[in-house]
Amino acid sequence: MYLEDAHRKVSQAIHDLAEPIIQLSHKIHDNPETSLNEHQAAQWITEFLSERGFRVRKPLAGMDTAFLGEMGAEKPVVAFLLEYDALPEIGHACGHNLIAAGGLAAGAALASLGTDLPGTVQVIGTPGEEKDGGKIIELEAGVFTEVDAALMFHPGSTTMMWRHSTAVVELTVQFHGVAAHAAGSPQQGRNALAAMIQFFVAVDGMRQHIAETSRLHGIIRHGGSAANVIPDFTEAEMLVRAITSDDTRALLERVRACAEGAALATGCTVTFAEGPLYSERKNNHTLATRVGEYLQSLGHPLEEPILKGGTGSSDIGNVSLAIPAIHPYLAIAPQGTPGHSIRMRDYAGSDEAQQAMLHMAEALAHAGVDLMFDPDFLALVKSEFAVSGPDLPA
Ligand SMILES: [Zn+2]
Ligand SMILES: [Zn+2]
């Protein structure tokens, strides 16, 4: 099959898939499921894949809500990555319903080339982006070993083909004290809430002395059970972010020291649990630029990538350091609309967002065609990967 014919077929496929894809996007949006609890979304997406002839593996990498759909044979392997987790209480305020539907549409459109496919299309379900690092678990389980390029996108308020992202690790901090009657015998108690307060004050005291691009933000999950009992147990969740993984590990040690100091001062003990470390991001500019060209031709003007300041994090970072990967952004809301907000959630369910998502799916599918049918383009993508480093803020 000629390259032009493949591009034409892929555009037609996106057109044909529009209705069921939009329905699926709305269904996921209306039924938000949090990190690693995305059972319905994973079920709906894998049914969609099976119905269209994909070989489906689920569960994947030890996660019930992870999956891999595959069509074709041999190399190159082009993977579209899907996210579908929502946030507690505010639902799909990160718009992952669009990531899921758009990635699925791109994969299904490329797979519609059937026996003409010179390689393998994979649609990989990567659960738990907001909290549990599903992609990191999959990476460690070898899911991406044979993948030549991984493509996904993220909705937001700006259309830009790449940006940097900070590394992050979640630290759970638990203080253990001694319970006692808060009025009758407080001298016999050791106050785990006092330790927790000291910990947050110590972290705040450190803020002036960390890099401007670093971020420390946490919540107290458990602060005690009754006001007339000296709390013998408290728990907090603290996110530690810095520009690189190394800087994040160094900052994490300082945060742990704050907690150890607070425990010592209050006669309590402290225990820690660390989540997966989300890495900084290495965008493949060759591949992302190509996606941008297609997206522009579909009527979406591009903004310059923002490479300054602190920003959010994603487990695509870890994947992007291992294989060529892209994570472009698609505007579905007016410039400046904050992520993780009620407004962003409502935009992610709007008709306009579904149309924009289909355009992004088409752009990703066209880039997939180029990766499969044009060995020179794939070689360019790979040679950039071999020599480039992560994107870092100026
Ligand atoms: Zn997100
Ligand atoms: Zn998010």
Complete domains list, the chain, with CATH: 3-165+280-387 (3.40.630.10), 167-274 (3.30.70.360)
For the chain, give the percent of residues with pLDDT over 90: 97
> For residue 153, how far is its CA from the centre of ligand 1 (angstroms)?
9
- Residue 123 sits at the vertex; the CA angle it makes with 118 and 129, to the nearest 5 degrees, is 145
> For residue 94, how far is its CA from the centre of ligand 2 (angstroms)?
5
CB atoms within 10 A of CB 300: 16
Summarised one tens digit per residue, pLDDT across range 293-341 is 999 999 999 999 988 887 889 999 999 999 999 999 999 999 999 999 9
**What was the pLDDT predicted at 155?**
98
**What was the pLDDT predicted at 50?**
98
* Over residues 159-188, mean pLDDT: 97
**What was the pLDDT predicted at 246?**
97
Summarised one tens digit per residue, pLDDT across range 53-78 is 999 999 999 999 999 999 999 999 99
Contacts of 367 (CB under 8 A, 6+ apart): 151, 287, 290, 291, 294
Q: Indicate the pLDDT class of residue 363, thresholds 50, 70 and 90.
A: very high
Looking at this protein, which amino acid is placed at residue 392?
L
**What was the pLDDT predicted at 94?**
98
Ion ligand 1, residue ranges at CB < 5 A:
94
In order, the DSSP letters of 212-267 are TT-EEEEEEEE--S-TTB--SEEEEEEEEEESSHHHHHHHHHHHHHHHHHHHHHHT
> For residue 74, how far is its CA from the centre of ligand 1 (angstroms)?
31
**What was the pLDDT predicted at 394?**
82
Summarised one tens digit per residue, pLDDT across range 248-290 is 999 999 999 999 999 999 999 999 999 999 999 999 999 999 9
pTM of the model: 0.95
At residue 153, does pLDDT exceed 90? yes
**What was the pLDDT predicted at 309?**
81
> For residue 340, how far is its CA from the centre of ligand 1 (angstroms)?
8
DSSP 46: H
At residue 1, does pLDDT exceed 80? no
Query: Of residues 306 and 366, which shows the higher confidence score?
Result: 366
Q: Considering only CA atoms, which of 317, 36, 65 is closest in space to residue 169?
A: 317
> For residue 97, how far is its CA from the centre of ligand 1 (angstroms)?
10
At residue 209, does pLDDT exceed 90? yes
What average pLDDT does the chain have?
97
